[in-house]
Chains A and B, each alone.
Chain A
């Protein structure tokens, strides 16, 4: 008997067009199903429907039927399904309830009525399983994005659910961390439905693939653009007139992140910084852009630098999209609208940035830095949460504009780094140096 059954499910959020249309699906016990689809195709909504959060938490128009372990989600609240179903949401920062790691993992176990004597051992086992045993007493606010994602994964694994729903669980993890997380979910024995934007990260571990497009389950195989690709790294040498140079730079937050790092980026050159979580990619990017000052060594910069942070859609301040973009060009709305048009947002100039979809917000944030025509453009994890087709578009856009500026991209996406860069610089995990 199937663990989860979805029959002709259609759903619309209040006041919005249909997010899911006549979706039917079965998930067997222990099966691992990879769920792919472009941004906004309904992947997260389908996962929410399997958790009962749609329609209970969000409201909206719901038709069809979803059954989890024989329970109809229309008559069973999400909290009652907790323990049978466990959900890891897309953004780890928005799902943390407590301030310390151990308490965070304990929370779900207490809610589902786990015997008190069992709770400490299950918390410890879950943290050990994700390689976060040493973090148990750490404040959540001090964790890196990757560490936080592991802790959130431990929180759901500790529940020992029968159905595990993972919404882009590896978006902040480097390839090794991502492979370990997916393998951990697979070996937990639960049925797993995992939504991903990077097929290469889950294809080997899954039993079945489903693809959503505009709310419809279209096929049980991937379109060509989504097929995994091998990372092919270019072997370029530093070139072009120098725009930015880091000389023997060191930097520490509470502990050393960079020690005696050197790097040069020239005009017309597109350099990818590739390395695992915590290896200092973001810090190098901020030093290059002038957002941080080195504690030793020096940074030489010629011309204007712009920096686009991770998750840029979160950091928009204006009331209209064109005003947001115009901030970087002294309020020049004509230039702002031209930049919006270049990124396919021409029809959105007067909309509030928070009314845009997540993908549109990211493009808006990109337009807000490109409009300034910087001499040095620094992008931090620009492919986080974007699908392969949009990733290809980003590669084309950056390549088409590369000639006029120096571009530095910090990423743990090897395929993207290989496709976009003239030169790939890897940061070593020991944080001792940068290998040029």
Chain B
């Protein structure tokens, strides 16, 4: 399948998760996307899965304490300045689970895009908004680039006999990682300009045409969005 068709399917699944009204529907979409992500090599998918599932869990845990909905309290806690009285209702728990699953599903759709799609072909096949597609593709590369830079920093420190461990040790890496990313972005922008990026009259290398299954995927993607909005 062409990357553009696969990207449309993933985007449709994410949209369906956002439009669906039932927790079980969102959970089913998240499970499908998780199964897709598991096709990626274990070493590469770990960080994405931890991020997607971790952020969903965080929403599940935090939502009951910051929302004030429902009339079936399960636990009543102390009064906390600013937040008021802490309580957890069954409605808040259900809503937290629903929102957490939504976030996880959207994050998993992005993870599948980042891990499994050929971004080069996606950019090259873009018929419009090519600059935006390229910007997204470059942003997607940020995660593996940061991983590689972090590994280099850890190795450089281990080479001096300094072990990087714990939250504090890893926090030390944030500032150099950010600075390195900014330097790299500037260098890349310069190299792109030197290679003629943005000048009028650009052409495109020949690409294979769309096959029936690619067209079918686009149709299924549109249907998924409609089904998500109307029936799920």
Confirm or deny: A201 has a beta carbon within 8 angstroms of a beta carbon on chain B. Answer: no
Confirm or deny: A95 has a beta carbon within 8 angstroms of a beta carbon on chain B. Answer: yes
Q: Mark B20-64, 1 if CB is under 8 A from A, else 0.
A: 000000000000000000000000000000000000000000000
Confirm or deny: A291 has a beta carbon within 8 angstroms of a beta carbon on chain B. Answer: yes
Confirm or deny: A356 has a beta carbon within 8 angstroms of a beta carbon on chain B. Answer: no
A322 to B195, CA, bound (A): 40
Confirm or deny: B124 has a beta carbon within 8 angstroms of a beta carbon on chain A. Answer: yes
Confirm or deny: B141 has a beta carbon within 8 angstroms of a beta carbon on chain A. Answer: yes
Cβ–Cβ < 8 Å partners of A306 in chain B: 159-161
A98-B120, A315-B152, A327-B157 known; A120+B206 contact, CB < 8 A? yes
Cβ–Cβ < 8 Å partners of B219 in chain A: none
Are A116's CB and B199's CB within 8 A? no
Cβ–Cβ < 8 Å partners of A343 in chain B: none
Cβ–Cβ < 8 Å partners of A319 in chain B: 175
A107 to B121, CA, bound (A): 12
**Residue picked from B141, B159, B183, B198, most chain A C-beta under 10 Å:** B159
A99-B141, A315-B152 known; A79+B176 contact, CB < 8 A? no
Cβ–Cβ < 8 Å partners of B102 in chain A: none
A3 to B123, CA, bound (A): 35
Q: Which residue of B lies closest to A95 (CB)?
A: B191
Q: Which residue of A lies closest to B164 (CB)?
A: A317
Cβ–Cβ < 8 Å partners of B230 in chain A: none
Are B188's CB and A110's CB within 8 A? no
19 residue pairs of the A-B complex, CB under 8 angstroms, read: A53-B190, A77-B193, A79-B196, A93-B184, A95-B187, A97-B138, A99-B120, A99-B141, A111-B198, A111-B202, A113-B201, A119-B206, A309-B159, A315-B153, A317-B173, A327-B162, A368-B160, A369-B159, A374-B161
A51 to B175, CA, bound (A): 32
Are B190's CB and A117's CB within 8 A? no
Confirm or deny: A328 has a beta carbon within 8 angstroms of a beta carbon on chain B. Answer: yes
Confirm or deny: A174 has a beta carbon within 8 angstroms of a beta carbon on chain B. Answer: no
Q: Which residue of A lies closest to B121 (CB)?
A: A103
Query: A114, A307, A309: which contacts B203 (Cβ < 8 A)?
Result: A114
Cβ–Cβ < 8 Å partners of A305 in chain B: 161
A306-B159, A328-B160 known; A314+B201 contact, CB < 8 A? no
Q: Kindly identify, within residues 123 to 164 of chain B, every residue whose CB is under 8 Å from any CB belonging to chain A.
A: 123-124, 134, 138, 141, 144, 148-149, 152-153, 155-162
Q: Mark A362-375, 1 if CB is under 8 A from B, else 0.
A: 00010011001010
Nearest 6 CB-CB pairings of A with B: A82-B196, A111-B196, A307-B159, A315-B156, A95-B191, A103-B120
Cβ–Cβ < 8 Å partners of B141 in chain A: 99
The total of chain A residues at the interface (CB under 8 A) is 65
Q: Which residues of B contact A (CB under 8 A)?
A: 118-121, 123-124, 134, 138, 141, 144, 148-149, 152-153, 155-162, 172-173, 175-176, 179-180, 183-184, 187-199, 201-206
A305 to B150, CA, bound (A): 21
A116 to B206, CA, bound (A): 6
A108 to B141, CA, bound (A): 20
Are B161's CB and A94's CB within 8 A? no
B112 to chain A, nearest CB (A): 16
Confirm or deny: A333 has a beta carbon within 8 angstroms of a beta carbon on chain B. Answer: no
Confirm or deny: A255 has a beta carbon within 8 angstroms of a beta carbon on chain B. Answer: no
Confirm or deny: A232 has a beta carbon within 8 angstroms of a beta carbon on chain B. Answer: no
Confirm or deny: A57 has a beta carbon within 8 angstroms of a beta carbon on chain B. Answer: yes
Query: A85, A123, A309, A317: which contacts B176 (Cβ < 8 A)?
Result: A317
A319-B175, A327-B162 known; A79+B199 contact, CB < 8 A? yes
Confirm or deny: A155 has a beta carbon within 8 angstroms of a beta carbon on chain B. Answer: yes
**Residue picked from B119, B156, B157, B158, most chain A C-beta under 10 Å:** B156
Cβ–Cβ < 8 Å partners of B194 in chain A: 51, 53, 78-79, 82, 85-87, 89
A365 to B155, CA, bound (A): 13
Are B206's CB and A304's CB within 8 A? no
A308 to B160, CA, bound (A): 8
Are B188's CB and A97's CB within 8 A? yes
Are A106's CB and B196's CB within 8 A? no
Cβ–Cβ < 8 Å partners of B188 in chain A: 94-97
Are B205's CB and A309's CB within 8 A? no
Are A111's CB and B160's CB within 8 A? no
Query: B120, B158, B173, B183: which contacts A291 (Cβ < 8 A)?
Result: B158
Cβ–Cβ < 8 Å partners of A108 in chain B: 195-196
Are A117's CB and B159's CB within 8 A? no
A94 to B155, CA, bound (A): 20
A160 to B86, CA, bound (A): 69
B134 to chain A, nearest CB (A): 8
Are A327's CB and B180's CB within 8 A? no
Q: Kindly identify, within residues 259 to 308 of chain A, every residue whose CB is under 8 Å from any CB belonging to chain B.
A: 289, 291, 304-308
Are B161's CB and A120's CB within 8 A? no
Q: Which residue of B lies closest to A101 (CB)?
A: B120
Query: B144, B161, B193: which contacts A304 (Cβ < 8 A)?
Result: B161
Confirm or deny: A83 has a beta carbon within 8 angstroms of a beta carbon on chain B. Answer: yes
Confirm or deny: A141 has a beta carbon within 8 angstroms of a beta carbon on chain B. Answer: yes
B145 to chain A, nearest CB (A): 9
Are A113's CB and B193's CB within 8 A? no
Are B204's CB and A110's CB within 8 A? yes
A378 to B158, CA, bound (A): 13
A94-B191, A120-B206 known; A309+B155 contact, CB < 8 A? yes
A111 to B160, CA, bound (A): 44
A4 to B153, CA, bound (A): 42
A355 to chain B, nearest CB (A): 11
A165 to B199, CA, bound (A): 20
Query: A57, A116, A374: which contacts B205 (Cβ < 8 A)?
Result: A116
Are B173's CB and A97's CB within 8 A? no
Q: Which residue of B lies closest to A374 (CB)?
A: B161
Are B124's CB and A308's CB within 8 A? no
Confirm or deny: A393 has a beta carbon within 8 angstroms of a beta carbon on chain B. Answer: no
Are B152's CB and A309's CB within 8 A? yes
Cβ–Cβ < 8 Å partners of B118 in chain A: 99-100
Confirm or deny: A316 has a beta carbon within 8 angstroms of a beta carbon on chain B. Answer: yes
